[in-house]
Chain A
Amino acid sequence: MQAKSINYTHTVAVVGNPNCGKTTLFNGLTGGNQRVGNWPGVTVERIEGSLKFEEKYIHLVDLPGIYSFSPFSEDEKVARDYLLSKRPDLVVNIVDATNLERNLYLTAQLIEMKIPTIVVLNMMDLAEKQKISIDIDHLSRHLELPVIAVSAVSQQGIKEVGRAIDRCLEKPVLSGTSVVYANEIEDIIKEWTPALREVVPVVGADQRWIALKILEQDRWITSLAFEKGCLSKKDIKEKLDSVESLLGEPADSVIADYKYGFIHGIAKDIISRIRNDDTFTDRVDRIVMHPVLGVPLFLIVMFLVFWVTINGGGSLIPVFDAAFGKIFVTGFEKLLYYFNSPDWLIAVLAGGIGTGIRTVAAFIPVIFTMFFMLSILEDSGYMARAAFVMDKFMGALGLPGKSFVPMIIGFGCTVPAILATRTLERKRDRILTIFMTPFMSCGARLTVYTVFAAAFFPTHKGIIVFSLYLAGIVISVGTGFLMRNTLLKGETSHLIMELPPYHSPRMKHILIHAWNSLKVFIFKAGKFIIIAAILLSFLNTFGVDGTFGNEGNEKSLLAKIGKTITPFFHPIGIEDENWPASVAIFTGLFAKEAVVGTLNALYGQMEDSSSRASTTGIGLLKKHFSRGGPQAYAYLLLILIYFPCIATLGVVFKEIGLGYTLLLAWYTTFLGWNIAALFYQISMGREILWIILPVLFLSAVFLLFRIIGRQKKETIELT
């Protein structure tokens, strides 16, 4: 997303720790008008907005919440690269007044990067409640930077920040202060300064900063120094060793130590407080993270999120579905008809695109509600605790605690569940969770289970359906295990996380966040869904005789395809006469609840007019799945496991890209087919060939995964 830099007069970057209230302030300054995108090449969110003053049109860039600037994490790298290469006119450093010392660690680093900065002491209201008082003038003098104190949740506070930005852009202030390090380190910096001159223009910071980075073993900066021939590996190693032997600690340790020393010196001078060791947050945490109560409490909270999302949001699905259906399908049809459009065009435009739009729209209430609920949890601070509570449990599965959330939501609908994986920080965790989530039987699949259970297992409906849910969970865990040990090898990151204090969720912030996330779903996943919908619609309506309007009857291309692929499903127990079942598998791609509808429609067609009236849906099912229970169950297993619905694939594509999406589609279908085949053959078919082959196929694929995994491991170890 390119900013129209021609119109902007100034660029201002906003920087701060996570949980310092930066987002609220940013929202306040931009009036909620922001563009959300991605920093190029990474999955870090990029948020931009603008601010206007009389003659100034300011481009505001929100950098990710970070604790320091280093190349170790994507967030930090993005922030640092931006500051050094784009050199904004001003940096607004948001500092949490209730955690001043830790927050100033970042400020100290900003000062060393030599960019004009203004410090905004935020959360003053909370500081007051905690009886922390800060001498702002004194702080300003120590840092040699303008400091203002606000509470970003208030309109007034935001206005003050805006005014301060305006003033500072007129006269940008570069701090003259600096952290003084141990003599040994200062000597090295002096020694290296002339040599590092050539690296300065490449990096965008001065020699002092560069020298410090090299001593901190920053790989990127160090390799730049090598490239420019400024220093040799030997030089650097020599100095690092000498620091360690003289000071007893590695250089990075010493540098951090002196920074904190600098900060502590300031803090002692300006903060006076009555330390409260048992805050409200602490009290709540004792319950929330209680070794025994923690998990049940979490499950209750999760159930609530699930219930509100699926029932609350879900209740609006028919509304959206009908409304968008009226406009984009029926309305569109009428419009095209009015213009005497050819049948095929109507089918493609109204049937295809219209249906696609309607499918996407139908999900909007559920997805928005989910993002809304999750935002509340995240904003209030509970999410961090939830990750903690579920961590040991999910650790056994090789996943972080946060992975539990998508899986719970997956029991309602897979689409929002996949979107919920965005809260996981690492790509590998996201991919792994995404592969495990589709096996949680969603609401759509439940509709299929219930109908079949009623038909074939009337006395044991509950147990049968439960067994299917259980099968899904077992397969999910199995998949996780498989992926974790093969393709997605990698350790779970060391879990260290700040637990922010609780506070009541900020409605405006939550709504903006939920809305932005929703927008991304609609436009990115939506495109994919619509294209697939067009294709399926076309196949469904276009007949082999070249006519249109063949939905639900034997002549459509889709039905033809169904009949042709039925032999492929023989091992699962679908006989040639039961070809509508194959077609239903296809239409199940749209939405798995379509399976029942398709079966009904097609079976109905097959009856001659006399019996059509008298046979029930259940009767028809029993007739076509003539061999009874196990045959039906095998079919259900297939429906459970195979190819996720296109809406799901659409969001998977958006989240982890084409490669993995194809892998998922293939994997689920492959697994589904083999497992269903095994079940059917073992329980009923008894054709040895089709017992051996699935076992062979499955083993072959698992072995293949292992081999790829091993190769990947070697590559990782080489780098």
Chain B
Amino acid sequence: MGTVHDIIGGIGFRKKLFDMGILPGVRIKVVQGSRFSPFVIKVGDTKIMMGWGMLSKILVNKE
């Protein structure tokens, strides 16, 4: 569980995240995942899956 602090990436990447509701200031929760399998995260009521590469571009302040 944590709050998104910053997003590293180009405009296309950022937009994809914004569309899902992931932007600075938002709380997200990592449900499952590892370096070798995609991650499942929850943002509000939305459940999203993404790879390790993408997730590492989302800087989160852990609670």
Name A's B-contacting residues (CB within 8 A). 67-68, 70, 72, 98-102, 105, 216-217, 249-250, 252-253, 256-257, 260, 281-282, 285-286, 289, 291, 384, 388, 391-392, 494-501
Contacts and interface: CB of A to CB of B under 8 A. Distances in A.
Contact of A392 (B11, B20, B36): B36
Given A253-B7, A494-B54, 7 more contacts: A285-B31, A285-B47, A289-B32, A497-B50, A498-B46, A498-B49, A499-B40
B17 to A, nearest CB: 7
Interface in B20-37: 20-21, 23-26, 31-32, 34, 36-37
B45 A102 contact: yes
Contacts of A260: 21, 23, 26
A392 B13 CA distance: 21
Nearest to A106: B19
B62 interface: no
Contacts of B36: 392
B31 to A, nearest CB: 7
Given A98-B45, A289-B40, A495-B38, A68 B15 contact: yes
B18 to A, nearest CB: 4
Contacts of B40: 285, 289, 388, 499
B15 A70 contact: yes
Contact of A68 (B19, B24, B50): B19
A87 B57 CA distance: 38
Contact of B19 (A67, A286, A291): A67
A257 B45 contact: no
Contacts, number: 101
CB-CB nearest 5 A-B residue pairs: A67-B19, A256-B18, A99-B45, A496-B50, A499-B47
Given A494-B13, A499-B49, A105 B19 contact: yes
Given A282-B31, A392-B37, A494-B51, A105 B14 contact: no
Contacts of B37: 291, 392
9 contacts: A99-B45, A257-B25, A285-B47, A291-B34, A391-B38, A495-B51, A496-B48, A498-B49, A499-B47
Contacts of B2: none
Contacts of A100: 45
Contacts of A496: 16-17, 20, 48-51, 54
A257 B23 contact: yes
A496 B46 CA distance: 12
Contact of B44 (A101, A249, A286): A101
Contacts of A388: 38, 40, 49
B48 to A, nearest CB: 6
B25 A497 contact: no
Contacts of A285: 31, 40, 47
* A68, A388, A501: residue with the most chain B Cβ atoms closer than 10 Å: A388
A199 to B, nearest CB: 20
A252 B16 contact: no
A316 B52 CA distance: 45
Contacts of B13: 494
B45 A101 contact: yes
A100 B36 CA distance: 32
A249 B6 CA distance: 9
Contacts of A70: 15
Contact of A499 (B11, B19, B44, B48): B48
Nearest to A291: B37
A252 B47 contact: no
Contacts of A384: 49
Given A256-B23, A289-B32, A392-B36, A102 B15 contact: no
Contacts of B47: 281, 285, 498-501
A715 B52 CA distance: 30
B40 to A, nearest CB: 7
Contacts of B15: 68, 70, 72, 252, 256
Contact of A102 (B11, B20, B51, B54): B20
Contacts of A102: 20-21, 43-46
Nearest to A263: B21
A326 B9 CA distance: 62
A391 B52 CA distance: 12
Contacts of B24: 249, 253, 257
Contacts of B21: 101-102, 105, 260
Contact of B54 (A281, A282, A495, A501): A495
Contacts of A391: 38, 51
A102 B23 CA distance: 12
A496 B16 CA distance: 8
Nearest to A276: B45
A576 B61 CA distance: 76
A256 B13 CA distance: 13
A104 to B, nearest CB: 10
A249 B7 CA distance: 10
Contact of A497 (B23, B49, B53): B49
A665 to B, nearest CB: 36
Contacts of A217: 11
Contacts of B46: 99, 102, 498
Given A72-B15, A99-B46, A282-B31, A498 B38 contact: no
Nearest to A493: B16
Nearest to A497: B49
A98 B44 CA distance: 10
Nearest to B46: A102
B53 A494 contact: yes
A600 B25 CA distance: 74
A260 B46 CA distance: 14
A494 B16 CA distance: 10
A281 B47 CA distance: 10
